[in-house]
Structure 1
Amino acid sequence: MLLVICGGKKSAFMKLYPIEAGNFKLDGGAMFGVVPKTLWNRTNPADENNMIDIAARCLLIEDGDKLILIDTGMGDKQSEKFFSYYYRWGDHSIDKSLEKHGFHRDDITDVFMTHLHFDHCGGSIQWNKNRTGYEPAFKNARFWSNKEHWLWATQPNEREKASFLKENIIPMEQSGQLHFVERKDTETFKQSENLPFGVLFVDGHTDKQMIPHITYKDKTLVFMADLLPTAGHIPLPYVMGYDTRPLLTLPEKDKFLKQAADENFYLFLEHDAHNEIISLKHTEKGVRLDQSFSFNELFN
């Protein structure tokens, strides 16, 4: 596990905006792996179908002349049958959320994907006008992944195959808009485009998932993606059944949570429908939830 920091000078102007891409539901048992329902149901109550509330909360970074969107949710191009498995709820969408903050998807200059599972990158690609093929949903943006994860996603193992959908991934490359984060060696992170955040690479959930660390208003905000899906996943054994290497998730998570409590990181939760940002503290039982904040409470 490696925390790597982008080079380049800091912008004199940065502003962040939470972007709600749409809520859905997932099976609570799958989301908590071997943890009994009697325990996880206290923090993430299940409905009559054993499904729990899940968000697709993205983050928009306005930095000088750049407008960078981290993750894009699952999009809307899949079949009715596909979406029936995920019980979408609420009226959030990327377009509505961007418009709320005065932006349009054509304004986006960069889309940074933490990883290529459909619920994180599906909104990056859409049907073309005639529904005969696919095209980028952000026509003026560069799409950012990394070579190791791209290979992992385009040659998927059987366990993850259903999460890496070709129609979400291959059109990025075909469009010519795909770029890779360059890792020159194991000690440095060099981004030729100087994206304004550091990245933690983790491998427990999927190979080379990227976790952005953003310095904003003298605070460290960490976009958690699937390293910590919800506040209910803070205890170490609470690991998703979706993780490909759960025994690797444990030390990655342990190290990160301790650092987050030590250094007062603020954790931006992509999948927690009811907790937007949290902080952590050390207790006799290990690292636990300290406070929960809305974005506006913390930064406005």
Structure 2
Amino acid sequence: MSTPSEPPPSYAVATGSSTTSAAPKASSHLQVPKDRNGIPALARRSMEDLQRPLPQGWVRSYDPKENHQFFVNTKEDPPKSYWEHPLDIPEVVRSLSSEERERLQEEEDKLRKQFPHSADHSEDEGHANEPPLPPRPSNQQRPSTSKAPQKKTFGEKLKDKVTGTTHEERVLERAKREEEERQYYEAHLKLRQAMQKAQMTGQPQFFAKDKDGKDIYIEPPGGPGYGYGGYGPRGYGINPYAQGPYSNPNVRVIRPGYPYNRPYGPYSGGGAGLPIAGGLLGGMLLGGLLF
């Protein structure tokens, strides 16, 4: 991948008060929701974008200077790059055929079915400020007089019926999902750091250890491709540019020609509530990683 001779502006400058940008019009940063499960909203959006389907002819690529992905329309001549996901660019969405829109919607629906709790934010937010459940009293602390159990609200009764679970079970499930998301975010940051250093140095970079204690190395694009054979018995390499989310059909691409800008804003093509876990990193996490 070729990059401009001039270094890109910092993230703070690109998303601050600077007005010198040829970027498409985007929504106000005032619409950014609160951080959730320790993941900043803008980082969550970027992670969601990794799972969202792309229109035909579009590929993902990665810029090591901004340490961020971008999207390329390879049908353009020359190919045109954007920081925004194509389904968040109104003119791109308008240009899609009805058949292509249906295909993309079906892909998003499949993702939601695979991760049915990824969009379950309303209950999380609704109970975010509730105090934790009190501990069960021990035999020594058991009250002498019995009290009638607290009545459930209509909303809790409805959720019990619809989900087949109790409020207490949903609280535990939310706590489990929160911890899983925090772990995934930590792994996501480490993977991006390894990708950045690998691409800028041209050398494989240590990422993590797998469940068997073997070292995992992230290889640069166009690198030697040692794979499973070049690191000896105690390690192996993974190239996200060969078979991962940043693989492309040998199209020469460059980063977008305007400053990095990925505001949150509404989803033009759906996407809200898509999982942040999956793909290359999701498979490695399922196998177990040690940092």
TM-score, scaled relative to structure 2: 0.24
Would you tell me which structure has more helix in proportion to its own residues?
A: 2
Q: Which has the higher contact order (CA 8 A, sep 6+)?
A: 2
Q: Which has the larger radius of gyration?
A: 2
Would you tell me which structure has more strand in proportion to its own residues?
A: 1
